[in-house]
Amino acid sequence: MSKTIYEKMRTIPDGYLALLSFLFMLIPILYPLGLPVTISNTTKGYYDALMNLPAGSIIMWEGGGGMGYWDEFEASLTATFKVLFSLPVKFLYWGTGSDAPVMADIILKKIDVKGFNKEYGRDYLILGYIPGGETTMAAIAGDTHGVATQDYYGNDLSQYPLWAECRNYQDYAIVISVSTSCVNMDSQARQWHAIYGKKILEINMACCSPMAVVYFPDIMPGGLWGAKGGTELEVLSGFPGPGARISDASNLGIMPFLVFLVLTNIGYIGSRYISKEKEIAK
Amino acid sequence: MTLGELAAAWFYLFFSAAILSYLWKLNIVYRIAEAFSVGGAMAHSLITLYGGTIESFCFNPIKAGQLQRIIPVALGLMIFFRLTRRYAWVARYPTVVLTGVGTGVLFGATFDAQILSQIGMTASMFTTMDLLSAIFTFISVVTVLTYFIYTHEHKGPLGISARLGRVFAMFSFGMNFAGEIIWYMTLVVGILINWVEKAINPLLGL
């Protein structure tokens, strides 16, 4: 028995969808499109929170994620580094994940740090991966010096002037947290906000935004989710980066999925309608 | 671009294409790439853990005279007793310490961070949001909560509220899933950008 048009619509092979999506994604990679970007409230909040920090503030930056998520985080991390370097603030970066310091190191090598007149040890410090998750977070908030003695590069931390300023939660103006966990904001809110009243800015994957926005704006003044968040920060801060092309390609790549979603649903509804009609005819 | 970098880029192209070949079907090339990926990740993790963590947070401070760090090192080593049948009980001690400390760290602030502050934010949203958003959020919070009332049959007003709550919960799950699709897209886009920029363009002299 031959398939009806509705059944054909319902059973379009996945391979065609993948191939079409690949082709659509290639367009902005080969020919940059520069699609317009809408700035979300959370990105604006993120940017404003950083811009409103008093001069000399120290930011506690908890790096997370992994190299497997590089494309999801590259734009957000690069733009954040550039924004922080452009401001009269300092930051202490440590890794909640083993790849976090590696990711920071790769980005720092791409950025012209000296062009921003920033110096390692005076304006920023990169600590290594410190295991322990939330327990370590609590320990760092309580006594930062008790947790680490060396930086990511194996140097003694006591030689750096910034390290002397990073003693405990009282020294940090705000927390930036990078994670691939959708419940990351829960632990951040527990350790930094509930106990010490600190605000948290989150960088996470696109899928984690519904779990984090419940903390917006009281506990989390802003956040960047996925490459899109990074692209928005690039636009807002005026520091172009890799995000625009990634976002354009993702936006175009999703188009075939949307078309197929509509077609398969029409197919499903149509098939049900026909089968009901057949039942009535019987 | 050096020859080594070009070779690395082509290795990347080969292995990422091999992983993507799973879209066609499970095949030997995919299996090889998968084994390389898992093995490489494990090697990287072990090296990072030893060099970046065990050495710098345990051995070096102990050598420098911070003898109190012997305690966590000893507790960590005790975990390995789990591998023996006779002395497996020894591993219970570090497990107990980990569980106890973890629970202590989490428990104290959970009520404040995840319940009290959430209630506070929901109550104050009429002053922090525009009216329409605040009403919409308020209705969604109340109806979703009623969906999780299991001690009363979902009939009458409670049934209507619970059904509405289910719709709102579906909106949230839908957004979550959409974000996940975008994440996968971004990964593929990253692969394509690397193919074009690092492997294909240098060969074409672009």
With pLDDT > 70 as the criterion, what percentage of chain B qualifies?
100
The pTM of the full predicted model, rounded to 2 decimals, is 0.87
More confident site: A6 or A266: A266
Q: Which chain A residues are Cβ-neighbours of B57 within 8 angstroms?
A: 130, 148-149
β-bridge mates for residue A62, sequence order: A94, A177
Contact B56 A210 (CB under 8 A): no
Cα-based distances in Å from A248 to A242, A243, A251, A255, B67 = 11, 8, 5, 11, 54
Give strand ranges (E) for chain A: 58-63, 90-95, 124-129, 172-178, 200-204, 222-225
User: In the predicted model, is pLDDT for residue A43 greater than 90?
Assistant: yes
Instruction: State how far the Cα of A19 lies from the Cα of B30, in Å rounded to an integer.
Output: 18
A149/B61 Cβ within 8 A: yes
Tell me: the pLDDT tens digits for B123-159? Answer: 887 777 778 888 888 899 999 999 999 898 888 999 9
Is the per-residue pLDDT at B66 higher than 60? yes
| Whole-number pLDDT of residue A121 | 92
Among left, alpha and beta (phi > 0; psi -120 to 50; other), residue B115 is alpha
Query: What pLDDT is stored for residue A142 in this prediction?
Result: 92
Model ipTM value: 0.81
Burial, A186: exposed, middle or buried (Cβ in 10 Å; 0-12, 13-18, 19+)?
A: buried
Residue A75 has a pLDDT of 92
Percent of the residues in chain A that have a pLDDT greater than 70, as a whole number: 99
Q: Which residue has the tokens 């009269």?
A: A88
pLDDT at B115 over 90: no
Cβ contact, residue pair A254, B114, below 8 Å: no
Judged by a CB distance cut-off of 8 A, whether residue A165 touches chain B is no
Per-residue confidence band for B161, with pLDDT thresholds at 50, 70 and 90: very high
- The mean pLDDT value for B156-176 works out to 92
Long-range contacts of B9-18 (CB under 8 A, 24+ apart): B9/B194, B9/B198, B9/B199, B9/B202, B10/B199, B12/B194, B12/B198, B12/B199, B13/B194, B13/B195, B13/B199, B16/B191, B16/B194, B16/B195
Q: Rounded to whole angstroms, how far apart are CA atoms B182 and B167? A: 22
Predicted local distance difference test score (pLDDT) of residue B88: 93
Q: Does A258 touch chain B if contact means CB atoms closer than 8 Å?
A: no
Confidence of residue B86 (pLDDT cuts 50, 70, 90): very high
What's the pLDDT tens digit per position in A190-229?
999 999 999 999 999 988 888 888 888 889 999 999 889 9
